[in-house]
Amino acid sequence: MEQDEFSLIRLLTAGRESEEELRTRGVVTGIGDDAAVAALSPGMQLVATCDTMTEGVHFLPVTMRDEDIGFKAMASNISDIAAMGARPRYALIALSVPPGADVEQIRRIYDGLYECAALYGVAVIGGDTTATRSGIVLTVTVLGEVAAGGALLRSGAKPGDAVFVTGPLGGSAAGLAWLLRRGVNAAQWGTLPSAEAELVRAHTRPLPQVAAGELLQRTGLCHALNDISDGLASEAGEIAEASGVGLLIAEELLPQAEGLAACAEELAADPLEWVLYGGEDYQLLGTAQEADMGALREAFAQGGLSLHVIGRVTDADGGVRLQRPDGTVQPLPKRGYNHFAAN
Amino acid sequence: MEQDEFSLIRLLTAGRESEEELRTRGVVTGIGDDAAVAALSPGMQLVATCDTMTEGVHFLPVTMRDEDIGFKAMASNISDIAAMGARPRYALIALSVPPGADVEQIRRIYDGLYECAALYGVAVIGGDTTATRSGIVLTVTVLGEVAAGGALLRSGAKPGDAVFVTGPLGGSAAGLAWLLRRGVNAAQWGTLPSAEAELVRAHTRPLPQVAAGELLQRTGLCHALNDISDGLASEAGEIAEASGVGLLIAEELLPQAEGLAACAEELAADPLEWVLYGGEDYQLLGTAQEADMGALREAFAQGGLSLHVIGRVTDADGGVRLQRPDGTVQPLPKRGYNHFAAN
C-alpha cells in the first residue's frame, strides 16, 4: 500500500456524503481539519459510545464480507445509541489494516460503514486509517443526542413492570452457525433459500432499533432499556443488576426469528440456546409499567414497529429466571459471548 | 487473560475519577450503560477527533513504556482539539491487546491514559477493551466544545499575516532518535542527564497546548491554526493548501527545543531536520494579522504562555518556503512522517 495517508482518506471518504447533506445533518466542519465541528440540537445532551471489531475475534473472513464488517461495526454502535433512547447523529471511524490489505478491500469496508450510516442519517465526521501488524481492527465511535435528562438507562426497572423486546431473537446466532458449519463462500449468499438468507442477513447486516428507542424515549413510559448485543440472558442480567430487581422471562413468549426452528433442526442445534445466548440481535430489551403497555403497544403499532411482552420484573431475590412451557422455573445465568473468558 | 470483559473494564476504570469529579465535568451517565451521556455547555458546538496508535507502526516497545503509550495516545487527540481553539471535555478509549498481554500491562496503559486526561480535565466516559491477533492497537476519541461558529480552521490564513508557533520544536524527534540509537532501556530514563531526559520526555509525554488554543480562540484574532503532529513543514503545507496562500518561514526565527543542538552533535544528526520534519511536537502553528501580534503577545505573556513569530503568509504562488540564515530562500516541501509511504 503505497498510498499517501491523506490521499487515502480522501479516496475513502470523498463524495460519500455531499456538502449539503453534511450541512443538513449538522456538520460545521467535516473530515479534513484537525478535528470535526458539529452541532447538537438545543436542549439535548450528548450520547457517546465506541465499539471495536477485530478480525479473528469478532469476525472471520469466511463469515463476513468486507462490506459486512463495515456495516456491522457501524450498526453495533448505532444500536448502543438506540438503547439510550437517543438519536444517532455523527460517527468517527478508526480502521487499522494489515500490510497485505489493498485499497479495494479498505474501500469495501468503508462502503459498508457508509451504507449503514446513510440508513440511519448518520454523518461520518472523522477518523483515522492506519497500518497494523496483522488482522483488521475497526473501532467506530458514534455520537448521538437525547433530551436533557431523558436518556433511558438500565437502572430504572421496577418490580411489577412488564419486560418487552422489540423484535425476534436468535436470528444472528443461527445465521452465524449456518455460515460456520456450511462453510459457505461469501459470494454465494445471494443464492441461499430465502429463510436462511434472512438468518445470514441478521448476522451480517443487523438493523438497530433506533425508531423504537426514540419512541420509547418520547413516550416517557420506558423504565429501563438495553440493546441485545451479548444475548438476552446476559442483557436481562445487566438490567436486573443495575436496577436491583429480578426478571422472570416466559419461554413461550419469546419471539423467534423466522425459520429459526427449521434451521436448528437442519443443524441439529437448540434454537432456545440461540434465542437466549446468541446475542448480536440488536433488538431492544426494556421494561415499563404493566398498566402502560396498552399505550405503548398502540404507539408502536402506529409507528409500524413491533413490541413483544416476554415476562415481568420481580424483586431482586428471584434473580433472572426462565419459566419453561411446562410451568417450571429455572435460573437464567448471565452467560453471553465473552472473548476474554477462558472457554 | 482469563478476565471477564465487564469485570476487566471495571478493574481498569473504576475509582479513576470519582462520581463527583465526573459530575462536575458534565458527565450524566459514565461507563457502565450502553452509551455515555454528557452535557455540552450552552451555545457550544461539539468538536470531535480520533487517532489510533499501533505497535510497530506508531511506537516500539523499546522507545515507549506502557504508561507512555497511553499518555501519548490521549495527548495527540487532545492536541487536535486544541488546534481547533476548543476545550477538550470527554474521551472514549478503545484498546486492543494481543493474547500475550497481561492485565498489569493493560492497567499501565490505562494509567497513562488517565494521567493525561486528568491533566487536562478530561472525563473518560466510555470505551472498549478487546483482544487482537498481535500488537497493541489503541484508538482514543476525544470530544470537546467550542463557541458556536468559532472553531479555528486551517483555511483562514491571509497574505500579510504573521506565522507563529506556541513553543519549541524538534524535541520529540530528538528524543526518539536518542532512544532509537542508544537503545536505552525504558527503566533507565530516570537516570538520564536532564537535557536529554527533557527531549525523551518531549517524545513520550508531549503536552498539548490547550490553554494557548483556547486563548487564541477567545481573542478572535487567530486566522488559521494547526497542531504540529506531522512536522512543521507538513503542517505549514496544510495551512497553505487549505487557505490558498503561501508561507515564508525564517530559519533563524524557529525556536528549538533546549539541548537540541548538543543532542544533534552527539548523534551526528541535523537539528534543522528534526525541527522541520520531526513532528509530534504538538505545538500550535497559526497565523494572525501582523498588526494584532502585539495584542496576542501581551495576552500570551499574561497567561504565562509563549508565542514565537516564525514567518509570514504570502500569496499562493510562493508555496511554502524557508529563508535560510544567509538570506537565500528555498522551497519547503511537505514531507512529514507518513506510514503509508513507500520509504
pLDDT, tens digit (0-9, with 9 covering 90-100), for B221-235? 999 999 999 999 999
C-alpha cell at position B102: 497481561
Distance (Å, whole) CA A64 – CA B91 = 30
Sorting pLDDT into bands at 50, 70 and 90, what band is B263? Answer: very high
pLDDT at residue A16 above 70?
yes
Sorting pLDDT into bands at 50, 70 and 90, what band is B5? Answer: low
Out of A5, A29, A92, the one facing B153 most closely (by C-beta) is A29
* Structure confidence by residue, pLDDT tens digits, A19-46: 888 999 999 999 889 999 999 999 999 9
Out of A86, A128, A341, the one facing B50 most closely (by C-beta) is A128
Q: How many CB atoms lie within 10 A of CB A325?
A: 8
| 229-268 of B, contacting A, C-beta below 8 A | 242
DSSP letter assigned to residue B119 = H
Q: How many CB atoms lie within 10 A of CB A186?
A: 17
Sorting pLDDT into bands at 50, 70 and 90, what band is B3? Answer: very low
Q: B123, B96 in Cβ contact below 8 A?
A: no
Residue of A nearest to B225 (CA): A34
Regarding beta strands A87-97 and B36-38, do their DSSP bridges make them parallel or antiparallel, or are they unpaired?
unpaired
Amino acid present at A96: S
> How many C-alpha atoms does A215 have within 13 Å on its Cβ side?
20
Distance (Å, whole) CA A207 – CA B13 = 30
Beta bridge partners of A48: A143, B36
Q: What is the pLDDT of residue B134?
A: 81
Distance (Å, whole) CA A247 – CA A287 = 10
Q: What is the mean pLDDT of residues A292-316?
A: 97
* Structure confidence by residue, pLDDT tens digits, B275-304: 999 999 999 999 999 999 999 999 999 999
Sorting pLDDT into bands at 50, 70 and 90, what band is B4? Answer: low
Percentage of residues in chain B having pLDDT higher than 90: 74
With an 8 Å Cβ cutoff, are A45 and B55 in contact?
A: no
Contacts for A232 with CB less than 8 Å, ≥ 6 apart = A165, A169, A249, A254, A275, A276, A277, A281, A285
Residue of A nearest to B282 (CA): A34
Element (H, E) at A104: helix A103-119
Element (H, E) at B97: strand B87-97
Q: What is the mean pLDDT of residues A152-180?
A: 96
* Structure confidence by residue, pLDDT tens digits, B142-184: 999 999 999 999 999 999 999 999 999 999 999 999 888 876 6
- B20 Cβ under 8 Å from any chain A Cβ: no
C-alpha cell at position A332: 437464567
Give the closest-approach CA distance of B342 to chain A in angstroms.
5
With an 8 Å Cβ cutoff, are B133 and A2 in contact?
A: no
pLDDT at residue A134 above 60?
yes
Out of B35, B46, B151, the one facing A49 most closely (by C-beta) is B35
With an 8 Å Cβ cutoff, are A28 and B149 in contact?
A: yes
Distance (Å, whole) CA B323 – CA B330 = 6
Q: What is the dihedral of CA B160, B166, B168, B171, to 10 degrees?
A: -120
- A290 Cβ under 8 Å from any chain B Cβ: no
- B187 Cβ under 8 Å from any chain A Cβ: no
Give the closest-approach CA distance of A142 to chain B in angstroms.
9
Q: What is the pLDDT of residue B14?
A: 78
pLDDT at residue A187 above 60?
no
Locate all alpha helices (DSSP H) within B29-162, ordered by sequence. Answer: 66-82, 103-119
Distance (Å, whole) CA B30 – CA B342 = 42
Residue A314 is assigned to a ligand binding site: no
Residue A292 is assigned to a ligand binding site: no
Q: What is the dihedral of CA B39, B40, B43, B47, to 10 degrees?
A: -150
pLDDT at residue B191 above 70?
yes
Q: Is B304 helix (H, G, I), strand (E, B) or coil?
A: coil
Using a CB-CB cut-off of 8 Å, the residues of chain B touching A34 are 49, 79-81, 83-84, 154, 225-227
Measured between alpha carbons, how far is residue A7 from residues A66, A94, A191, A267, B263 in Å? Answer: 21, 16, 37, 47, 35
Q: B87, B79 in Cβ contact below 8 A?
A: no
Measured between alpha carbons, how far is residue A97 from residues A58, A136, A187, B70, B130 in Å? Answer: 15, 5, 22, 21, 16
Q: Could you state, in order of their start, the residue ranges of all structural domains in chain B?
A: 5-147, 162-331
Out of B38, B141, B153, the one facing A141 most closely (by C-beta) is B141
- B55 Cβ under 8 Å from any chain A Cβ: yes
Distance (Å, whole) CA A251 – CA A271 = 12
Sorting pLDDT into bands at 50, 70 and 90, what band is A135? Answer: confident
Distance (Å, whole) CA B88 – CA A35 = 11
Strands of A245-250's sheet, edge to edge?
A: A222-227, A284-288, A162-165, A308-315, A245-250, A320-323, A329-331
Using a CB-CB cut-off of 8 Å, the residues of chain B touching A54 are 96, 130-133
Beta bridge partners of A162: A288, A312
Q: What is the pLDDT of residue A185?
A: 64
Q: Is B155 exposed, middle or buried (0-12, 13-18, 19+ CB in 10 A)?
A: middle
Q: Estimate to the nearest angstrom the gap between the alpha carbon of A319 and the chain centroid.
A: 25
C-alpha cell at position A74: 457501524
- A330 Cβ under 8 Å from any chain B Cβ: no
- B73 Cβ under 8 Å from any chain A Cβ: no
Distance (Å, whole) CA B32 – CA B10 = 8
| Superfamily covering domain B5-147 | PurM-like, N-terminal domain (3.30.1330.10)
Give the closest-approach CA distance of A81 to chain B in angstroms.
6
* Structure confidence by residue, pLDDT tens digits, A51-75: 999 988 888 878 888 999 999 999 9
C-alpha cell at position B9: 473494564
Q: Is A286 helix (H, G, I), strand (E, B) or coil?
A: strand
Give the closest-approach CA distance of B266 to chain A in angstroms.
33
Name the nearest CA neighbour of A227 among A205, A208, A250. A208
Out of A34, A90, A153, the one facing B84 most closely (by C-beta) is A34
* Structure confidence by residue, pLDDT tens digits, B39-91: 999 999 999 999 999 988 888 878 888 999 999 999 999 999 999 999 999 99
Residue A240 or residue A103, greater confidence: A240
Q: A278, A263 in Cβ contact below 8 A?
A: no
User: Which of B326-340 are b and which e, b meaning 16 or more Cβ less than 10 Å from the residue's Cβ?
Assistant: eeeeeebebebbbeb
CATH number of A162-331: 3.90.650.10
Using a CB-CB cut-off of 8 Å, the residues of chain A touching B46 are 37-40, 46, 90, 143
C-alpha cell at position A18: 455531499
Distance (Å, whole) CA B5 – CA A337 = 10
Regarding beta strands B329-331 and B320-323, do their DSSP bridges make them parallel or antiparallel, or are they unpaired?
antiparallel
Residue whose cell numbers read 429463510:
A195
Q: What is the mean pLDDT of chain A?
A: 91
Using a CB-CB cut-off of 8 Å, the residues of chain B touching A132 are 54, 57, 132, 135, 137
Q: What is the pLDDT of residue A12?
A: 79
Matching CATH topology for A5-147 and A162-331?
A: no
Using a CB-CB cut-off of 8 Å, the residues of chain A touching B51 are 94, 128
Residue A80 is assigned to a ligand binding site: yes
Beta bridge partners of A130: A96
With an 8 Å Cβ cutoff, are B84 and A35 in contact?
A: yes
Amino acid present at A176: L
Residue A288 or residue B195, greater confidence: A288
Sorting pLDDT into bands at 50, 70 and 90, what band is B196? Answer: confident
Using a CB-CB cut-off of 8 Å, the residues of chain B touching A137 are 54, 96, 132, 137
Using a CB-CB cut-off of 8 Å, the residues of chain B touching A39 are 45-46, 148
Measured between alpha carbons, how far is residue A201 from residues A61, A170, A273, A281, B323 in Å? Answer: 15, 12, 19, 11, 61
- A96 Cβ under 8 Å from any chain B Cβ: yes
Helix, strand, coil % (nearest 5) of chain B? 40, 25, 35
Q: What is the mean pLDDT of residues A128-154?
A: 93
pLDDT at residue A183 above 80?
no
Measured between alpha carbons, how far is residue A321 from residues A164, A280, A332 in Å? Answer: 15, 21, 5
Q: Is B222 helix (H, G, I), strand (E, B) or coil?
A: strand
- B46 Cβ under 8 Å from any chain A Cβ: yes
Name the nearest CA neighbour of A77 among A2, A127, A9. A127
Q: What is the pLDDT of residue B340?
A: 40
With an 8 Å Cβ cutoff, are A92 and B8 in contact?
A: no
